[in-house]
Amino acid sequence: MADEKIRIGISSCLLGEQVRFDGGHKHQKYITRELAKFFEFRSFCPEVAIGLGIPREPIRLVLDDDRDHPIRVVGTKDPSIDVTQDLIDCANAQQVWLTDLSGYIFKKDSPSCGMERVKAYRNSQPTRQGVGLFARTVMENNPLIPVEEEGRLNDEDLRENFIERVYVYHRWRALVAEGLTAKSLVEFHARHKFIAMAHNQKLYRELGRYIAAIPKNDLHSYAEGYIARLMFCLRKPATLKNHINVLQHIQGFLGDQIDAEDKQEMVQAIENCRVRKAPLTIPRTLLKHHFRKHPNEYIADSYYLAPFPEELAHR
């Protein structure tokens, strides 16, 4: 599992498949040129899957609190075309392969696949309160799977946050597949604790207390509670302030093994990050260089300095 590409779900149109309502696509070159080097995509178009055809009448979200389904998906021209239950049933029917994924990239603004702020109509007035119904159902059924929209991948912090979460969840799935033990759970946390620290100091401390209280019985249920807490901790991008804190903490593991000049260079590299004059890759690279010369088993096992392949990091 470690050597294979990570399996990711994705809206078909983002790969250039001509499945849009107008027969077109929304091919994203970054996805197919860069992410495809590391991810294996499982494409899916729910609108085609429920038989709407290509081309087809566009559909839209309608908000109506007085109905059984307060969120409905209907035809834009013919509101008698109601595919609400079809999209829900379609999402539920995909669970067999969805549970084999380590992430999902949805098409933004889509009434079926949009992850957030999708145009939805209340009393014929447009709002940005909608969530694509297929995407909503997939996310409800699979709350641990990292999800993102292709539009938000243009934001470097959001993109790296998504990629980081995908790799964390992929490693978790590998751990469970190998056979979970109390020891392996503790080791998993130890390898990811600096990542959690960079995201949320409060939740990082809560995770530490949680992992310190592993019961003798019902390990798998307890582990499910752990990974739910960890993925929630990682949901929002790490802050620069927390990154600086973690880098300084890791630098402390070098102690007196580096000379005064190297220490000053390290301090300056971290300071340049703090004032946004340089990216995190620079102090991370410096730290990796020093730890190659002065190995530390604890730091070597940690994923913080290399949370995912360097080629996926922004410069």
Give the torsion sign (CA, 132, 196, 201, 189).
positive
Which residues is 6 bridged to in the sheet? 39
Q: How far apart are CA 298 and CA 310, in angstroms?
A: 21
Q: 182 with 145: CB under 8 angstroms?
A: no
pLDDT at residue 1, rounded to an integer: 47
What are the tokens at 296?
A: 């530390």
pLDDT at residue 310, rounded to an integer: 87
Which residues is 39 bridged to in the sheet? 6
Q: How far apart are CA 111 and CA 96, in angstroms?
A: 23
Measured CA to CA in angstroms, residue 50 lies from 44, 134, 251 at distances of 11, 11, 55
What are the tokens at 168?
A: 């964390």
Burial class for 277, CB neighbours closer than 10 Å (0-12, 13-18, 19+):
exposed
* DSSP secondary structure of 171-214: HHHHHHHH---HHHHHHHHHHHHHHHHHH-HHHHHHHHHHHTT-
> Mind listing the pLDDT tens digit of every residue in the chain (315 residues)?
445 899 999 999 999 999 999 999 999 999 999 999 999 999 999 999 999 999 999 999 999 876 666 899 999 999 999 999 999 999 999 999 999 999 999 999 999 999 999 999 998 899 998 999 999 999 999 999 999 999 999 999 999 999 999 999 999 999 999 999 999 999 999 999 999 999 999 999 999 999 999 998 999 999 999 999 999 999 999 999 999 999 999 999 999 999 999 999 999 999 999 999 988 889 999 999 999 999 999 999 999 999 999 888 865
Which residues is 43 bridged to in the sheet? 10
pLDDT at residue 68, rounded to an integer: 65
pLDDT at residue 3, rounded to an integer: 59
When computed from its CA atoms, the radius of gyration of the chain, rounded to whole angstroms, is 22
Per-residue DSSP letter, 259? -
